[in-house]
């Protein structure tokens, strides 16, 4: 069928209930939607729609369902795995105009918001009540709560306060048929299967989130951070284990390697020791007395673990400055290199030293620098591979390097993605992490919600054919061989 | 150990081939919970008992993760964690000495610490399971953060064995609090609901609450200094029987739970004002759970209509937790669109509908 005619036909149908400015189809109008935060993948959508209400979203879905047109949801477009990459024959459904905070209930400690509301806007609205929304991705000034739900986003505080899945109570979700599902509830649990968990992290493939009720958390009385420097990255890794082994769950625990501290120090002057092989940031929050007690213990553990330097933030300004460096890690990468590629594997922490050594070896092999920032408390690695897209072939080399890092994460007993999602980016690595039967079950789950596969088709779960073709289904958790492919 | 899995898988395949239902039962400490498992034709399915598949597979305290086989006695697992200064933070009820990890996850029940620490599902990181075809599948993993693939591990929590047979489960664990103290304050129900919610909105180390008979009992857990500071703020009298009181609530050994002929559980918005319903109530989870004990004179049908409406109006749901006479529908009815999704999911995991048919909903 002719894409042009399809588009015009669809535009006509949509404009029967949407104002003209909510339906974009001219190339220059749809171009801004061609990629998300992973700009290596680009695709202009056939049409972009910008509904203003849940009813309009339902109307759009009904039309697309009737005409069998793929629908890709988009929040703020900060995703790092190409999850919101448009479909060439599809509708890009932007939720950006659904951006109202519908209500804050300070006594019940919840907020009811539309999907396009920015993550940070929720905490800002809750601040007068001494409350905040705990998950804080680094992108929180920009990313939407709908996107957070779709990716199960985390932040630097999630070891103690949980991921998105731990901090939401209820969703309103539209199915591809345009039917509303109320998932979860105003209590702490809901009858039947835990569809709230299933929806969280489902990357826009099961339904469109049109409303989110989040839990709000009381602001701790006080927070303080310890900054420790190590001349061996293994000591830093052991320090993390020692803190946790001592029964402390820090509010945040982040590690940066030497090349990272060098890059950020030049940029924000956080006061890091740039000679150190690695630095650790370890935060304590809670009641005044509690923080004092915990900070003292953390100091002691850092020293015993071989830290060459240990400093504690003396006031709020210094705490913010210590964190500023960590928060500037991505932009700093952007300053020292024309392009960078952010990976997101998670590993059991005990394998940190060997995985980092492996990354270093690969870095030498590929001739590409790699910065390591690490959510150390929960084992989530963010290697940033530095490259230059203008050098022919360098992007391909970078992707190959990245794929090998993910392979190491799987072998180390971890996973290819801790919080950024599979999207289009890691779809091939899914073939290595899961067996045929498991992938089939994922497809079956999708089919239970979206039998015709119209919602974000081709993302997150590879087809078995794709896996067979790339021949990547070799090792599964270090032991099993890829079993016979039943289909071909 | 693999032979046990092979045997279980063979049993499932045979059952699927002959279209004969199976009742997953790890021994049955929670037999009372859920709908009477009648099988599909009124006859009881044969028992599928996974308890032989037991033992801790992997536990490294500094990783905050434990992996154990589903047949592992809950008691053994908790003893092992405690000996390393850690715990299952959702404080699961055992309802008997023989409770297993599999039964605990499948039943999805959490104890007094739930409102502050999270529920069973919040701690589930990975599962290995046999589906209704007898296929051996693993989802999630042994790491804290993992978004590869849909979150099937959490879906299994609370599914009452209707989606598959759990073989292994990986859970996040947390350190035991350095200190715990329990305080008691006298007040009326409305004041108690207001007070519990006010505390929950402040950075206080409140780890459990319970209101019954004009007395609000509250547990503080955490660093010694934090508990001491909070104790001064909250007031009330400290009670000596700290752990035994909360155990009696968790295990429902407290006389309240045994008093009526039917025990309802209403899971609702925590700030809901006192519910006027026939019978006696006990409140937990900062007001988010109201237990209702109904006495013998009341008519089942009438109670059911009243309770379900009250729960719905309060943004939640109600289930029959225990009943001396069989309850017609144990769990809160689902809207049609939700039931459709449930039915389709069941079909995908268990196409022949052999696992615990009807235990959760008659349609499943
Ligand atoms: C500088 C930077 C730092 C970052 N730091 C972090 C971090 O610390 N932690 C972290 O977890 N992530 C981080 N991210 C990744 C990203 O911000 C998150 O994944 C975020 O949740 C995406 O939200 P979004 O609104 O931009 O979603 P988009 O990118 O627009 O979409 C993401 C996915 O969600 C789907 N989607 C969006 N809205 C809906 C909806 N309403 N209903 C159904 N599906 C929907 C889309 O189809 C897509 O699959 C970072 C990104 C950047 C650029
Ligand atoms: C002689 C004898 C005496 C006993 N005495 C006692 C006693 O005094 N007290 C006592 O409590 N127990 C007793 N038991 C029972 C047994 O030892 C354990 O109670 C049992 O293993 C615990 O089951 P559970 O409570 O974990 O779950 P169950 O009650 O068996 O199951 C709860 C729910 O979970 C589901 N389920 C259970 N396991 C799985 C799984 N692996 N995968 C998926 N779904 C699952 C079930 O289908 C059910 O829906 C006795 C057993 C025997 C043989």
- In angstroms, the Cα distances linking A126 to A16, A119, A166, B120 are 39, 12, 18, 28
Q: Are B84 and B61 in contact (CB under 8 A)?
A: yes
- Residue B121 lies inside a defined structural domain of this protein: yes
Residue B138 and residue B266 in one domain: no
Assess A112–B contact: CB distance below 8 Å, yes or no.
no
What's phi and psi for A39, nearest 5 deg? -80, -5
Low-confidence ranges of chain B (pLDDT < 70): 27, 30, 34, 36-44
CB neighbours (10 Å) of residue B292? 24
- Residue B41 lies inside a defined structural domain of this protein: yes
Question: Taking CA atoms, what residue in B is nearest to A126?
Answer: B201
Encode pLDDT of A425-477 as tens digits: 999 999 999 999 999 999 999 999 999 999 999 999 999 999 988 764 444 44
Q: Which domain holds residue B235?
A: 178-260+262-324
The whole-angstrom separation of Cα A271 and Cα A372 is 18
Residue B168 and residue B229 in one domain: no
Residue B65 and residue B148 in one domain: yes
CA-based nearest residue to A218, from A119, A129, A292: A129
Contacts of A130 (CB under 8 A, 6+ apart): A218, A219, B201, B202
- In angstroms, the Cα distances linking A408 to A345, A478, B207 are 9, 10, 40
- Residue B361 lies inside a defined structural domain of this protein: no
Q: What whole-number percentage of chain A has pLDDT above 70?
A: 96
- The number of the ligand nearest the C-alpha atom of B35 reads 2
Residues of A in contact with B320 (CB under 8 A): none
Q: What is the mean pLDDT of chain A?
A: 93
CA A187-A192-A193 angle, to 5 degrees, is 100
- Residue B364 lies inside a defined structural domain of this protein: no
Residue B224 and residue B303 in one domain: yes
For the Cβ of B98 lying below 6 angstroms from any atom of ligand 2, the answer is yes
pLDDT category at A488 given cuts 50, 70, 90 is very low
Which B positions 277-306 lie with beta carbon below 8 A of chain A? 285, 288-289
- In angstroms, the Cα distances linking A305 to A231, A271, A354, B174 are 11, 22, 18, 22
Helix (H), strand (E) at residue B218: strand B215-222
Assess B232–A contact: CB distance below 8 Å, yes or no.
no
Bridge-based pairing state of the strands B22-24 and B46-48? parallel
Helix (H), strand (E) at residue B181: strand B179-186
pLDDT at position A479, please? 38
Assess A162–B contact: CB distance below 8 Å, yes or no.
yes
Assess B325–A contact: CB distance below 8 Å, yes or no.
no
Q: Are A239 and A230 in contact (CB under 8 A)?
A: yes
Query: Is the confidence at residue A198, as pLDDT, over 80?
Result: yes
pLDDT category at A2 given cuts 50, 70, 90 is low
pLDDT at position B284, please? 98
- Residue B74 lies inside a defined structural domain of this protein: yes
Q: Are A208 and A219 in contact (CB under 8 A)?
A: no
Candidate from B176, B203, B229 with C-beta closest to A218: B203
Bridge-based pairing state of the strands A208-215 and A222-230? unpaired
Helical H runs in chain B? 2-17, 74-83, 101-107, 114-117, 120-123, 152-156, 189-200, 224-234, 242-250, 255-258, 300-313, 336-349
* Domain count of the fold of chain B: 2
Q: Which of B324, B341, B358 is the last residue of a domain?
A: B324
Candidate from A182, A241, A290 with C-beta closest to B222: A290
CA-based nearest residue to B121, from B66, B163, B158, B71: B158
pLDDT at position B310, please? 98
Tell me how close the Cα of A140 comes to any Cα of chain B, in angstroms.
Answer: 18
Query: Which residue's C-alpha comes closest to atom 49 of ligand 2?
Result: B160
Inter-chain touch B157–A194, beta carbons under 8 Å: yes
Strand partners, B171: B66, B124
The whole-angstrom separation of Cα A19 and Cα A22 is 6
Q: Are B60 and B80 in contact (CB under 8 A)?
A: no
For the Cβ of B158 lying below 6 angstroms from any atom of ligand 2, the answer is no
Residues of B in contact with A446 (CB under 8 A): 150
For the Cβ of B26 lying below 6 angstroms from any atom of ligand 2, the answer is yes
DSSP B272: P
Residue B160 and residue B210 in one domain: no
Query: Is the confidence at residue A482, as pLDDT, over 70?
Result: no
Instruction: Report the nearest atom of ligand 1 relative to the CA of A145.
Output: 25
Residues of A in contact with B338 (CB under 8 A): 181-183, 192, 195
pLDDT at position B298, please? 77
Residue B70 and residue B137 in one domain: yes
The whole-angstrom separation of Cα A89 and Cα A69 is 7
- In angstroms, the Cα distances linking B229 to A218, A223, B179 are 17, 17, 12
Q: Are A297 and A348 in contact (CB under 8 A)?
A: no
Encode pLDDT of A368-405 as tens digits: 999 999 999 999 999 999 999 999 999 999 999 999 99
DSSP string, B347-364: HHH-TT--BSTTSS-TT-
- Residue B171 lies inside a defined structural domain of this protein: yes
The whole-angstrom separation of Cα A58 and Cα A73 is 13
Q: What are the structural domains of chain A?
A: 3-94 (3.30.43.10), 101-218 (3.30.465.10), 222-330 (3.30.70.2190), 337-425 (3.30.70.2740), 436-488 (no CATH)
Inter-chain touch B226–A289, beta carbons under 8 Å: yes
Bridge-based pairing state of the strands A91-94 and A71-74? parallel
The whole-angstrom separation of Cα B210 and Cα B244 is 14
Residue B35 and residue B137 in one domain: yes
Q: Which of B175, B205, B228 is the last residue of a domain?
A: B175
Assess A433–B contact: CB distance below 8 Å, yes or no.
yes
CA B359 – ligand 2 centroid, Å: 15
DSSP string, A65-103: HHHT--EEEESSS--SSSTTPPPTTSEEEE-TT---EEE
pLDDT at position A134, please? 97
Q: Which of B152, B175, B198 is the last residue of a domain?
A: B175
- Return the beta strands (E) in A347-395 as ranges: 370-375, 380-387
Q: Residue A64 corresponds to which tokens in the numbers above?
A: 């697309």
- Residue B239 lies inside a defined structural domain of this protein: yes
Query: Which residue's C-alpha comes closest to atom 12 of ligand 2?
Result: B98
Assess A292–B contact: CB distance below 8 Å, yes or no.
yes
Residue B119 and residue B202 in one domain: no
Residue B47 and residue B165 in one domain: yes
Encode pLDDT of A93-133 as tens digits: 999 999 999 999 999 999 999 999 999 999 999 999 999 99
Residues of B in contact with A434 (CB under 8 A): 148-149
pLDDT at position B30, please? 67
DSSP string, B15-70: HHHTT--EEE-SS-TTTTSSS----SSSSPPEEE--TTS-SEEEEEGGGTEEEEET
Candidate from B147, B203, B345 with C-beta closest to A151: B147
CA B251 – ligand 2 centroid, Å: 15
Encode pLDDT of A272-308 as tens digits: 999 999 999 999 999 888 999 999 999 999 999 999 9
Residue B312 and residue B223 in one domain: yes
The whole-angstrom separation of Cα A443 and Cα A230 is 46
CA A277-A279-A283 angle, to 5 degrees, is 170
Inter-chain touch B268–A198, beta carbons under 8 Å: no
Residue B160 and residue B185 in one domain: no
- Residue B351 lies inside a defined structural domain of this protein: no
For the Cβ of A116 lying below 6 angstroms from any atom of ligand 1, the answer is no
ipTM of the complex: 0.95
DSSP A122: H
pLDDT at position B295, please? 85
CA B165 – ligand 2 centroid, Å: 13
> Sign (positive/negative) of CA torsion A354, A356, A357, A359?
positive
Substitution target in A191, A201, A249, A456 with the highest count of B β-carbons within 10 Å is A191
CATH of the domain at B77: 3.30.465.10
With both helix axes pointing from N to C terminus, report the angle between A329-336 and A316-327 in degrees, rounded to the nearest 10.
50
Question: Taking CA atoms, what residue in B is nearest to A428?
Answer: B148
Query: Which residue's C-alpha comes closest to atom 34 of ligand 2?
Result: B103
Residue B169 and residue B186 in one domain: no
Assess A294–B contact: CB distance below 8 Å, yes or no.
yes
The whole-angstrom separation of Cα A192 and Cα B360 is 7
């Amino acid at each position: 069928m002719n894409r042009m005619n399809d588009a015009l036909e669809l535009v006509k149908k949509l404009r029967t209930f949407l104002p003209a400015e909510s339906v974009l189809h001219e190339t220059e109008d749809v171009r801004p939607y061609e990629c998300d935060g992973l700009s290596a993948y680009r695709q202009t959508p056939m049409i972009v729609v910008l509904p203003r209400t849940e009813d309009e979203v339902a109307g759009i879905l009904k039309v697309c369902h009737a005409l069998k047109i793929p629908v890709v949801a988009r929040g703020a477009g900060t995703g790092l795995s190409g999850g919101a990459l448009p479909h060439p024959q599809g509708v890009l459904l932007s939720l950006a105009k659904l951006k109202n905070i519908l209500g804050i209930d300070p006594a019940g400690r919840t907020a009811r918001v539309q999907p396009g509301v920015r993550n940070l806007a929720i905490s800002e609205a809750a601040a007068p009540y001494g409350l905040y929304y705990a998950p804080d991705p680094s992108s929180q000034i920009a990313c939407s709560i709908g996107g957070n739900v779709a990716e199960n986003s985390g932040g630097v505080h999630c070891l103690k306060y949980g991921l998105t899945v731990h901090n939401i109570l209820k969703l309103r979700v539209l199915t591809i048929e345009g039917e509303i599902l109320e998932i979860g509830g105003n209590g702490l649990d809901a009858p039947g299967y835990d569809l709230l968990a299933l929806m969280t992290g489902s990357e826009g493939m099961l339904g469109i989130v049109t409303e989110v009720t989040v839990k709000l958390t009381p602001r701790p009385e006080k927070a303080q951070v310890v900054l420790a420097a190590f001349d061996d990255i293994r000591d830093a890794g052991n320090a993390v284990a020692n803190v946790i082994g001592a029964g402390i769950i820090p509010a945040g625990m982040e590690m940066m390697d030497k090349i990272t501290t060098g890059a950020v120090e030049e940029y924000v002057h956080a006061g890091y020791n740039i000679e150190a092989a690695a630095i650790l940031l370890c935060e304590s929050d809670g009641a005044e007395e509690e923080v004092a007690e915990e900070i003292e213990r953390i100091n002691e553990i850092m020293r015993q673990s071989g830290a060459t330097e240990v400093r504690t933030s003396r006031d709020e300004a210094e705490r913010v400055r210590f964190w500023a460096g960590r928060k500037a890690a991505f932009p700093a990468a952007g300053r020292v290199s024309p392009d960078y590629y952010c990976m997101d594997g998670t590993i059991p922490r005990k394998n940190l030293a060997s995985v980092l050594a492996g990354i270093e070896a690969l870095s030498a092999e590929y001739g590409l620098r790699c910065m390591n920032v690490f959510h150390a408390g929960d084992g989530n690695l963010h290697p940033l591979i530095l490259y230059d897209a203008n050098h022919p072939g360098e992007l391909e080399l970078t992707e190959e390097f990245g794929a090998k890092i993910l392979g190491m994460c799987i072998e180390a007993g971890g996973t290819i993605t801790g919080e950024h999602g599979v999207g289009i980016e890691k779809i091939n690595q899914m073939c290595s992490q899961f067996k045929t039967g498991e992938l089939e079950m994922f497809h079956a789950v999708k089919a239970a919600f979206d039998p015709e596969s119209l919602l974000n088709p081709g993302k997150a779960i590879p087809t078995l054919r794709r896996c067979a073709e790339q021949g990547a289904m070799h090792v599964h958790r270090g032991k099993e061989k890829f079993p016979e492919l039943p289909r071909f | 150990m693999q032979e046990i899995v092979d045997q279980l898988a063979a049993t499932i395949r045979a059952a699927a081939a002959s279209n004969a239902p199976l009742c997953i039962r790890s021994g049955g400490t929670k037999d009372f919970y859920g709908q009477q498992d009648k099988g599909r034709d009124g006859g009881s399915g044969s028992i599928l008992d996974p308890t032989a598949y037991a033992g801790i597979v992997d536990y490294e305290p500094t990783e905050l993760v434990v992996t154990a086989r589903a047949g592992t006695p809950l008691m053994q697992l908790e003893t092992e964690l405690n000996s390393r200064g850690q715990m299952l933070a959702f404080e699961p009820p055992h309802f008997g000495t023989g409770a297993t990890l599999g039964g605990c996850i499948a039943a999805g029940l959490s104890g007094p610490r739930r409102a502050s620490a999270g529920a069973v599902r919040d701690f589930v990181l990975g599962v290995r399971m046999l589906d209704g075809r007898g296929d051996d599948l693993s989802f999630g993993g042994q790491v804290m953060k993992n978004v590869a693939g849909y979150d099937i591990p959490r879906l299994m929590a609370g599914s009452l064995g209707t989606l598959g047979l759990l073989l292994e489960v990986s859970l996040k664990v947390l350190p035991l609090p350095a200190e715990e103290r329990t305080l008691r304050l006298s007040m009326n129900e409305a004041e108690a609901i207001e007070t519990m919610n006010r505390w929950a909105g402040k950075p206080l180390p409140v780890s459990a609450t319970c209101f019954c008979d004009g007395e609000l009992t509250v547990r503080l857990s955490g660093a010694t200094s934090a508990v001491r500071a909070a104790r001064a703020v909250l007031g009330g009298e400290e009670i000596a029987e700290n752990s035994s009181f909360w155990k009696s609530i968790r295990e429902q050994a407290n006389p309240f739970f045994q008093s009526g002929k039917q025990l309802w559980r209403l899971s609702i918005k925590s700030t809901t004002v006192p519910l006027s319903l026939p019978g006696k109530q006990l409140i937990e989870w900062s007001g988010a759970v109201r237990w209702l004990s109904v006495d013998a004179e009341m008519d089942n049908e009438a109670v059911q209509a009243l309770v379900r409406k009250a729960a719905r109006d309060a943004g939640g749901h109600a289930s029959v937790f225990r009943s001396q006479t069989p309850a017609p529908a144990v769990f809160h009815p689902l809207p049609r669109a939700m039931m459709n999704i449930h039915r389709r999911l069941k079909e995908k995991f268990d196409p022949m509908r052999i696992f615990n048919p009807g235990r959760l909903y008659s349609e499943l």
